[in-house]
Structure 1
């Protein structure tokens, strides 16, 4: 089987690169594209952390600022799912842990915007800074009190 170009069939290219690595056939590796892909993988992990934090914070905000919402169980499910997924992500990629403050800072304004949009509340209702630490937001059983 001949070499598959990166641009023609990414899946097959990736499998071939893995096989070449396994065989220690380093001279046949597509080093330039491998470097790009490894860097892109790292960036995707950071974006996933931010995305999951955004969803978690949005639902915590809605929980706190919509205290009379009739059914919060689906928010609770989403909150718990995001906590689980963030924990798994950090377990798989512990080097993301030092990036948590930056990720939280990026995720919070997006969470506020989406919480305002979904709740119909004014952006001014929500704090300008995240009211919870990462540890609080991730704590099992933590659901913020209403103001």
Structure 2
């Protein structure tokens, strides 16, 4: 059995009909719709299992990478905050708060990512040091070899624009 992506009047989901399913190589989005419809119709024998497996693995990597990216941005700005306090800006504090929210959302939406925060932090820290070095001109050797922040510091350490000395600005 194959599928048709025309929607039923009472649904926003594709339905199964006799139309030929789209090929993975030709139309990824259409192929995804087709695979969803086949799964919902319990047409497991018609599923493109090898490509579904490949896409699910990529989805997992993508979720992990989103966590790494948010941690990297927090670390980037914490490093600048700590190593260039005279240049602290309101935008750094805002970015830290925004990315902390993204981290919380990622872990809330995918709780199993919590077991990956150490690995994500190691990856993120290496990139953050490189980013800060390139942005500020500070030597990479200025920064610790391993991340100086524990999880609480990354996600909870108070960062307040009001605490910054603005007298030299």
Same fold (TM over 0.5): yes
Do residues 79 (structure 1) and 99 (structure 2) align?
no
Cross-structure match for 2:115: 98
Over the aligned positions, Cα root-mean-square deviation in angstroms equals 1.7
1:55 equivalent among 73, 83, 97: 73
* Matched residue SS, 1:68: helix
Instruction: Give 1 or 2 for the bigger CA radius of gyration.
Output: 2
> Structure 1 residues 140 and 84, CA, compared in 2 at 3 Å: closer, same or farther?
farther
* Matched residue SS, 2:77: helix
Q: For the Cα contact (< 8 Å) 1:51–1:107, is it kept in 2?
A: yes
Displaced runs of 4+ in structure 1, greater than 2 A?
A: 140-143
Name the one with the larger helix percent: 1
Name the one with the larger strand percent: 2
Q: Name which structure has the greater RCO, CA cutoff 8 Å, separation 6+.
A: 1
1:44 equivalent among 62, 71, 74: 62
Q: For the Cα contact (< 8 Å) 1:136–1:142, is it kept in 2?
A: no
> Structure 1 residues 140 and 123, CA, compared in 2 at 3 Å: closer, same or farther?
closer
- Number of aligned positions between the proteins: 144
Using structure 1 for the length normalisation, give the TM-score. Answer: 0.91
Structure 1: runs of 5+ lacking an equivalent: none
CA distance in 1: counterparts of 2:115 and 2:93, whole angstroms: 27
CA distance in 2: counterparts of 1:40 and 1:129, whole angstroms: 28
Q: Which range is displaced more, 5-14 or 50-59?
A: 50-59
Using structure 2 for the length normalisation, give the TM-score. Answer: 0.80
What's the CA shift string for 1:29-69, capped at 9, x where partnerless? 11110011111111111111112111110111001111111
